Amino acid sequence: MPGSTPWGSWMEVGAAVPTADGTVSAWTPSWVYTGGETVAHDGRLWKAKWWTRNQEPGASPWGPWQDLGAL
């Protein structure tokens, strides 16, 4: 069933979030980020440093996300 788990075969597309430099997607736990993607989460922009899924931006300073600053 879609959306029942972040580890299932379905991936939720994040909502479009306008920024000063264009539009990015909101982070979702089920989407696969392969590295280099920029997302919006909790009022900040984050860039994936490597492959990640279900690892929330800002949850760990050693995690897969680089904080790019406020929206």
Per-residue pLDDT of the chain (71 residues; tens, 9 = 90+): 566 677 777 889 999 999 999 999 999 999 999 999 999 999 999 999 999 999 999 999 999 999 999 99
The pTM of this model reads: 0.90
**Residue 46, Cβ density class (10 Å: 0-12 exposed, 13-18 middle, ≥19 buried):** buried
Q: Write the CA distances from 57 to 1, 2, 23, 47, 61, integer angstroms.
A: 25, 22, 18, 9, 9
